[in-house]
Amino acid sequence: MTRFLRNSLTLARKEWISLLRDVFMLGFVVYSFTFSVYSQATGISHELHNAAIAIVDEDRSTLSQRLASSFHGPEFQTPAMIGHAEVDPAMDSARYTFVLDIPPNFQADVLAGRSPAIQLLIDATAMMQAGIGAGTIQGIVDDEVGRFVRREAEGTAAPVSLQVRVAYNEALDTKWFTGTMSVVSNVTMLAVLLAGAALIREREHGTLEHLLVMPVRPAEIMAAKVLANGAVILVLTLVALYAVLRGLLSVPLAGSVPLFLAGTALYLFFATALGIFLGTVARSMPQLGLLFILIVLPMNMLSGGFTPLESEPDWLQTAMQLSPSTHFVAFAQAILFRGAGFDVVWPRFAATAGIGALFFAWSLARFRRHLASFR
**pLDDT score at 159:** 60
Q: Please answer whether residues 275 and 194 qualify as being in contact, where contact means their C-beta atoms are separated by less than 8 angstroms.
A: yes
DSSP 291: H
pLDDT on residue 278: 92
Distances (CA, A) of 184 to 91, 103, 137, 277: 40, 50, 34, 21
Q: Specify the pLDDT at position 153.
A: 55
Fold of 53-152: abc type-2 transporter like fold (3.40.1710)
98-102, strands of its sheet edge to edge: 80-81, 53-57, 98-102, 119-122
The pLDDT value given to residue 15: 84
Helices (H), the chain: 2-21, 23-32, 35-43, 62-69, 87-92, 106-111, 127-152, 174-205, 207-212, 218-239, 257-281, 285-291, 297-301, 314-320, 324-336, 342-372
Domain spans, the chain: 2-44+173-372, 53-152
Closest CA to 324 of 369, 273, 286: 273
Looking at residue 154, its pLDDT comes to: 53
User: Across the strands, what pairs with 119?
Assistant: 101
Mean pLDDT per segment of 10 residues, for the chain of length 375 residues? 82 85 88 91 76 90 89 87 89 88 89 86 80 86 85 58 76 82 92 89 76 79 89 94 92 91 94 91 88 90 84 88 93 92 93 92 86 69
Question: At 145, is the secondary structure helix, strand, or coil?
Answer: helix
Q: How far apart are alpha carbons 128 and 124 in whole angstroms?
A: 8
- Cβ-defined contacts of 301-304 (< 8 Å, 24+): 302/326, 303/188, 303/328, 303/329, 304/329, 304/330
Single pTM value for the model: 0.79
Q: Are 331 and 345 in contact (CB under 8 A)?
A: yes
Q: How far apart are CA 184 and CA 331, in angstroms?
A: 11
Contacts of 25 (CB under 8 A, 6+ apart): 19, 194, 197
Q: Are 208 and 202 in contact (CB under 8 A)?
A: yes
Residue type, 244: V
Which residues partner with 100 through β-bridges? 55, 120
Nearest CA to 305 out of 187, 185, 151, 200 is that of 185
